[in-house]
């Protein structure tokens, strides 16, 4: 199936990310690699002036800690990568730098401007050079 899978996880939606992580494990070739990716968004300078300096650093540490806990809880081996910047750009850059053949990400319920899939998922689908799986199982289950 796939040799290298990037699973993009938003820490604020860790339950959705856990479902995507489990899905990745079922799609992985023997000897393949899963990379759990969290992109910590940069804070605009005009906002950062009023926030503690260590806010972004603490967000990255928290993300790594939670992803390590997820790996322990599931028993699924994976590598962790934390990057900074815009989520869609970070996901695409990670997929390219790791030569991934699949990106999996959960999509939030979109607003009118992104009716079918969320803004980040939309950008990743449009610009990724590899296959993208947009995981919406959790949302479908909660609507029933």
Q: How far apart are CA 106 and CA 38, in angstroms?
A: 12
| Tens-place pLDDT, residues 71-80 | 999 999 999 9
Which token pair is 4?
């290298």
Do residues 20 and 135 lie in contact, with contact meaning Cβ atoms separated by under 8 Å? yes
- Domain 2-131 adopts which CATH fold? Rossmann fold (3.40.50)
Domain residue spans of the chain? 2-131
Do residues 39 and 85 lie in contact, with contact meaning Cβ atoms separated by under 8 Å? yes
Which token pair is 70?
């997820």
pLDDT at 137: 61
Q: How many other CB atoms are found less than 10 A from the CB of residue 68?
A: 13
Q: What is the pTM of this model?
A: 0.85
What is the chain's pLDDT, residue by residue, as a tens digit (144 residues)? Answer: 999 999 999 999 999 999 999 999 999 999 999 999 999 987 776 666 677 778 778 889 999 999 999 999 999 999 999 999 999 999 999 999 999 999 999 886 655 554 555 688 889 999 999 999 998 765 444 444
């Amino acid at each position: 199936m796939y040799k290298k899978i990037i699973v993009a996880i938003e820490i604020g939606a860790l339950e959705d990310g856990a479902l995507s992580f489990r899905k990745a494990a079922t799609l992985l070739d023997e000897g393949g690699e899963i990379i759990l990716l969290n992109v910590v968004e940069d804070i605009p300078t005009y906002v950062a002036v009023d926030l503690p300096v260590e806010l972004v650093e603490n967000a990255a540490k928290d993300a790594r800690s939670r992803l390590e806990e997820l790996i322990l809880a599931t028993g699924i081996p994976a590598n962790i990568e934390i990057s900074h910047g815009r989520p869609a750009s970070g996901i695409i850059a990670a997929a390219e730098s790791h030569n991934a053949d699949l990106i999996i990400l959960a999509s939030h319920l979109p607003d009118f401007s992104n009716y079918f899939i969320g803004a980040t998922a939309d950008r990743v689908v449009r610009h990724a050079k590899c296959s993208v799986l947009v995981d919406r199982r959790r949302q479908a289950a909660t609507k029933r």
